[in-house]
Amino acid sequence: MFAEPQAPFAETAIRIFVLNRQVQATQRIDDPRICFGSRKLFNAQHHLSDNGLDDHKDWIRAWRAARSSQFFIEGAARSVAGNPFVRLTGREDATFDLELRLPETLGYLAHDEATWSGRTLRSTHFTGLHFEHGAAEIREALAGGKPLSYRFRRDEGGRWYVPVMLRQDFADPSMAGFSDGCLGIDLNVDHVALTLTDATGNPLTCVPGAPGKPVMTRRIDLVTYGKTKAQRLDMIRKAAAEIAALAARLGVPVAAEQLDFTRKRAELETQNGKKRARMLSSRSPTRSAWPRGRRDRTPRG
């Protein structure tokens, strides 16, 4: 749907160097150490008062709570409801019921018991689950027999959340038709420019039959210079969502140029100075922000 700029060579080379150094350091360890519950919490036992703990028993309780705060159950398409241990069922009021199969050691928590092929199956139930996002996609996955994976996670207040992970397939964006025109986007140093064109690439001034009164040329301010990586990514994703919404309303695909940041930065340094070039470089995370042809969706309940 969007063209993906190439990563700067220097950034890629640095990343490869760091990863290789980590691999080499791991290979030199004869007895590798694994820490569950976070290294920070493990070291807190040596500084109890600094971490708000009265004694070592307090630390043990915090340690065990952290270690048992989440678990993951992977989905399987061949299983009922897409998972061998979790069964999600949609209700008419747009909520869901969840059945979780328990191991024998947790059988005392079971709400139901059943015998199947000589085995006793124990399960507990949760009713009225609500997903803020992706409920329609979950129902579609359940109807299509697609695998659903679940991560049960408990926060510090003792509340449990159940993110549901599923995979969606999207049409190949390269196969989009341009017979009705397209929405062209141009990534600039401090903004994104949008222009609606016809099938021959000429800008349009009006769209017969289009809903509302769409603007044929639009500017989205996007100054990412001086922002953190998370802030840049959030700004870029919001801009991408706005572009996608406009394209969907107009019923046309989106087209963007294939950018060469290395060459463009060199041109800006010559014409406008290094500050403008740095502003362009701060835009490079767009390579990971634009939607691709396939993605994972993780609704939360």
Q: Lay out the sheet containing 96-102: strands in order across.
A: 86-90, 96-102, 119-129, 112-116
* Mean pLDDT of all residues in 256-269: 62
Q: Is the pLDDT of residue 275 over 70?
A: no
Confidence tier at 177 by pLDDT (50, 70, 90): confident
> pTM of the full predicted structure?
0.51
Q: Is the pLDDT of residue 290 over 50?
A: no
- Name the H helices within 54-153: 56-67, 135-144
Q: Is the pLDDT of residue 265 over 80?
A: no
User: pLDDT at position 149, please?
Assistant: 92
Q: Is the pLDDT of residue 109 over 70?
A: yes
Fold of 175-291: Nucleotidyltransferase; domain 5 (3.30.420)
- Spell out the domain ranges in the chain: 70-169, 175-291
Buried b (16+ CB within 10 A) or exposed e, 74-112: ebeeeeebbbebbbbeeeeeeebebbbbbeeeeeeebee
The top-scoring range by mean pLDDT among 216-225, 245-254, 286-295 is 245-254
